[in-house]
């Protein structure tokens, strides 16, 4: 009797495993062809020098040496970090404050939400086009409105900030959505208790909301950092090929695109993207380490 | 008591003022896009700040001109078809794999799921050169298959659906097992319908991503009649570099369908983005 049961059980397990393999097969085959082979292929490619349209020769670390000796690479890495320094803190802090406001019951809440979330569904290509027009030095709304004459997207010292502002404007809605869903998980009694103790809104915010929301905040910061380090669309749409700000603004993914698809230098393109990969993995690793220290888990 | 009331009222007013200022900042780019699209180029580049609105009537013909010269009908069809195909592929493959990872026991499960997680950690730009080489070797440049290619399967969707399946109560399947269902029947009849909300989230995420994506369609579909709205806008900017009303009319046309869908299905969008973690 026991034996029969065992046999039945192992047959059931085998059948379960067969079904499971059948279910994961499409995804796993797809991931291998579309993602894992490409990772290896890109790394291999970064050791080859591209010649003409199709030819290539093994070059060892030559591409990496070229990339590291070229100030463009370092400048692009720096530009990418600078962009992240604008986009991430501002979009997170502003979104947190707005989310706390929007989490209260009040008149017009759904109107505000609709407006704030609107950029989430807009193609960055269109968003960047409009902002570029707003930023236009001679005819743009911003310079006209303030009577200024700033070269928002042409001045090497300003353009990275201008594009960072578009980035903040674009991702604000996402961050607010995530913060609101995090806020709704904080039990209301904490606030009630605080109110009885006589703690005001600002003290409640710093003593209850900020620590209890820290897992959400950490998640958002992490996602935003990775997103900002791979910024491309805004750069591509806003920066003219002739812009004087190009060198001081273009991001890593932007120069990757230029190497790989505009200049058809796949070897250098692969090298740049591998450097970016290593950098991002490093950042991810540091963030994971930080998580235990800064996040408050209940 | 009076003073507390007054203080609360003041707080409310301050909050509304802040929210209204931010609303204006969020909405002005949209308004300026529409207003510019209705002007003549002469009006658009007029530097008199008081000429904010079109002076000589509304130039709706800007829209029809752009519509015709860029064949927006085709761009809409391409974009819509791409979205539909990507959503179907993503939901289908992810729900199957998510079920296996979330509910079934099988050898190799841990290893395979680690692969899924690794894919999610790696920036997607690293896949693009080889993906493009594959597409050009297959002769699929400028085709719908080329556009769809990187989105046939989804590691992120698999992860999302796995979480969805894990959240379902354990005894559901046991009850079904007693009734003599095999694993496939359990999946189709009982489990899959219960993860509808995760599927909707994944569908919305996939649709918005496909709509916004710029680099891949630019690379794989360089011909303007074969590409998506986003990539067509990039081309348009190059050609209309100083015809601002036409550019803005194009931007309005590219943005409007998604905005309308969003306003109608706002609740689902917000939930979808909240659960998919805003990974866009």
On whether any CB of chain B is under 8 Å from the CB of A269, the answer is yes
**Cα nearest neighbour of B279 on chain A:** A223
Q: Are residues B153 and B224 in the same domain?
A: yes
Q: Which residues of chain A from 154 to 213 reach within 8 Å of chain B, CB to CB?
A: 169, 171-172, 174-175, 177-178, 180-181, 201
The pLDDT value given to residue B46: 77
Q: Is residue A223 part of a domain?
A: yes
Q: Are residues B126 and B261 in the same domain?
A: yes
Q: Are residues B10 and B112 in the same domain?
A: no
Query: What is the maximum span of chain B, computed from C-alpha positions, in angstroms?
Result: 78
Question: CATH number, domain at A174?
Answer: 1.10.3720.10
Average pLDDT along chain A: 92
Q: Does A118 contact B262 at a Cβ distance shorter than 8 Å?
A: yes
Nearest CB to B97; choose among A15, A27, A257: A27
Among B61, B82, B104, give the residue marking a domain's end: B61
Question: How confident is residue B47, by pLDDT bands cut at 50, 70 and 90?
Answer: low
Q: Is residue A15 part of a domain?
A: no
Question: How confident is residue B202, by pLDDT bands cut at 50, 70 and 90?
Answer: very high
What whole-number distance in Å separates Cα of residue B55 and Cα of residue B37?
A: 13
Q: Which residues of chain A from 230 to 249 reach within 8 Å of chain B, CB to CB?
A: 230, 232-233, 236-237
Q: Are residues B40 and B173 in the same domain?
A: no
| Residue A192 burial (10 A CB sphere; 0-12, 13-18, 19+) | exposed
Q: Are residues B174 and B37 in the same domain?
A: no
Among B18, B44, B61, give the residue marking a domain's end: B61
Encode chain A in three state secondary structure. Answer: CHHHHHHHHHHHHHHHHHHHHHHHHHHHHHHHHHHHHHHHHHHHHCCEEEECCCEEEECCCHHHHHHHHCHHHHHHHHHHHHHHHHHHHHHHHHHHHHHHHHCCCCCCHHHHHHHHHHHHHCCHHHHHHHHHHHHCCCCCHHHHHHCCCCCCCCCCCCHHHHHHHHHHHHHHHHHHHHHHHHHCCCCHHHHHHHHHCCCCHHHHHHHHHHHHCHHHHHHHHHHHHHHHHCCCHHHHHHCCCCCCCHHHHCCHHHHHHHHHHHCCCHHHHHHHHHHHHHHHHHHHHHHHHHHHHHCCCC
Q: Is residue A136 part of a domain?
A: yes
The pLDDT value given to residue B171: 79
ipTM of the complex: 0.92
A97 is in which domain, residue-wise?
Answer: 62-294
Q: Are residues B47 and B144 in the same domain?
A: no
Structure tokens at A38: 């490409």
pLDDT at A80 over 90: yes
Q: Are residues B203 and B85 in the same domain?
A: yes
Q: Are residues B211 and B95 in the same domain?
A: yes
Chain A hits for B219, CB-CB cut-off 8 Å, are 261
Task: Determine the distance from the C-alpha atom of residue B226 to the mean position of all C-alpha atoms in its chain, rounded to a whole number.
Answer: 19
Quick one: CA dihedral B95, B100, B104, B110, positive or negative? negative
Q: Are residues B99 and B68 in the same domain?
A: yes
Structure tokens at A16: 């379960």
Q: Average pLDDT in the A119-138 region?
A: 94
| Closest approach of B208 to chain A, Cα-based (Å) | 6
Encode pLDDT of B147-184 as tens digits: 999 999 999 999 999 999 998 887 777 776 667 778 88
Q: Average pLDDT in the B107-129 region?
A: 95
What whole-number distance in Å separates Cα of residue A274 and Cα of residue A292?
A: 28
Question: CATH number, domain at B191?
Answer: 1.10.3720.10
User: What is the tally of structural domains in chain A?
Assistant: 1
On whether any CB of chain A is under 8 Å from the CB of B9, the answer is no
What whole-number distance in Å separates Cα of residue B121 and Cα of residue B114?
A: 11
| Residue A14 burial (10 A CB sphere; 0-12, 13-18, 19+) | exposed
Report how far apart, in Å, the C-alpha atoms of B229 and of each of A122, B211, B212, B277 are.
Answer: 11, 8, 9, 25
Q: Is residue A156 part of a domain?
A: yes
Q: Is residue A154 part of a domain?
A: yes
Q: What angle do CA B204, B256, B144 make, to 5 degrees?
A: 60
The pLDDT value given to residue A201: 81
Among B46, B61, B76, give the residue marking a domain's end: B61
pLDDT at A147 over 90: no
What whole-number distance in Å separates Cα of residue A244 and Cα of residue A74?
A: 18
The pLDDT value given to residue A221: 95
Conformational region of residue B48, where left means phi above 0, alpha means psi within -120 to 50, and beta covers everything else: beta
Q: Does B129 contact A273 at a Cβ distance shorter than 8 Å?
A: yes
B24 is in which domain, residue-wise?
Answer: 2-61
Q: Are residues B136 and B242 in the same domain?
A: yes
Q: Are residues B118 and B190 in the same domain?
A: yes
pLDDT at B30 over 80: yes
Q: Is residue A17 part of a domain?
A: no
Q: Is residue A118 part of a domain?
A: yes
Q: Are residues B8 and B109 in the same domain?
A: no
Quick one: CA dihedral B124, B116, A92, A116, positive or negative? positive
Higher per-residue confidence, A133 vs A59: A133
Question: How confident is residue A189, by pLDDT bands cut at 50, 70 and 90?
Answer: confident
Higher per-residue confidence, A167 vs A106: A167
| Closest approach of A11 to chain B, Cα-based (Å) | 12
Structure tokens at B109: 């499960």
User: What is the tally of structural domains in chain B?
Assistant: 2
Q: Is residue A28 part of a domain?
A: no
Chain B hits for A94, CB-CB cut-off 8 Å, are 22
Higher per-residue confidence, A190 vs A125: A125
């Amino acid at each position: 009797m026991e034996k029969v049961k065992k046999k039945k059980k192992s047959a059931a397990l085998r059948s379960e495993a067969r079904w499971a393999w059948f279910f994961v097969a499409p995804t796993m085959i797809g991931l291998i062809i579309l993602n894992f082979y490409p990772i290896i292929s890109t790394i291999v490619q970064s050791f080859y020098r591209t010649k003409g349209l199709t030819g290539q020769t093994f070059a060892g670390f030559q591409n990496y040496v070229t990339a590291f000796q070229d100030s463009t690479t370092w400048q692009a890495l720096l530009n990418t970090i600078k962009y992240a320094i604008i986009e991430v803190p501002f979009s997170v802090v502003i979104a947190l404050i707005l989310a706390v406001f929007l989490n209260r019951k009040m008149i017009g809440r759904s109107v505000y939400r609709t407006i704030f979330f609107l950029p989430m569904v807009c193609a960055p290509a269109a968003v960047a086009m409009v902002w570029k027009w707003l930023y236009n030095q001679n005819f743009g709304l911003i310079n006209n409105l303030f009577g200024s004459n700033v070269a928002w997207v042409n001045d090497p010292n300003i353009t990275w900030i201008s594009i960072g502002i578009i980035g903040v404007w674009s991702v604000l809605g996402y961050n607010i959505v995530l913060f609101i869903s995090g806020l709704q998980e904080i039990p209301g009694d904490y606030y009630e208790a605080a109110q009885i103790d006589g703690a005001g809104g600002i003290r409640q915010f710093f003593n209850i909301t900020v620590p209890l929301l820290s897992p959400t905040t950490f998640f958002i910061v992490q996602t935003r950092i990775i997103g900002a380090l791979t910024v491309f669309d805004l750069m591509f749409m806003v920066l003219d090929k002739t812009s004087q700000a190009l060198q001081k603004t273009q991001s890593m993914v932007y120069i990757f695109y230029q190497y790989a698809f505009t200049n058809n230098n796949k070897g250098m393109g692969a090298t740049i993207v591998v450097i970016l990969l290593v950098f991002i993995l490093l950042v991810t690793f540091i963030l994971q380490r930080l998580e235990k220290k800064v996040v408050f888990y209940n | 008591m009076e003073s507390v009331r007054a203080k609360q009222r003041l707080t409310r007013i301050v909050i509304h003022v802040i929210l209204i200022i931010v609303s204006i900042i969020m909405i002005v780019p949209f308004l300026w896009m529409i207003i510019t699209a209705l002007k003549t180029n002469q009006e658009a580049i007029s530097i008199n700040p008081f000429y904010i609105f079109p002076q000589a009537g509304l130039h709706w013909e800007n829209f029809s001109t752009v519509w015709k010269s860029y064949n927006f009908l085709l761009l809409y069809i391409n974009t819509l078809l791409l979205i539909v195909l990507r959503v179907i592929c993503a939901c289908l493959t992810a729900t199957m794999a998510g079920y296996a990872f979330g509910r079934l026991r099988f050898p190799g499960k841990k290893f395979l799921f680690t692969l899924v997680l690794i894919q999610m950690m790696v920036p997607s730009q690293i896949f693009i050169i080889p993906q493009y080489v594959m597409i050009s070797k297959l002769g699929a440049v400028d085709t719908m298959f080329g556009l769809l290619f990187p989105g046939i399967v989804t590691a992120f969707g698999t992860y999302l659906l796995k979480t969805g399946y894990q959240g379902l109560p354990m005894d559901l399947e046991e009850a079904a097992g007693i009734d003599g269902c095999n694993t496939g029947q359990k999946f189709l009849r009982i489990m899959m319908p219960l993860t509808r909300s995760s599927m909707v989230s994944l569908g919305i995420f996939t649709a918005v991503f496909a709509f916004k994506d710029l680099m891949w369609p630019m690379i794989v579909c360089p011909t303007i009649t074969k590409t998506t709205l986003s990539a067509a806008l990039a081309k348009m900017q190059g050609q209309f570099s100083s015809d601002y009303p036409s550019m803005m009319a194009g931007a309005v046309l590219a943005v409007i369908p998604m905005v309308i869908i969003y306003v109608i299905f706002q609740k689902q969008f917000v939930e979808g983005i909240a659960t998919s973690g805003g990974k866009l």
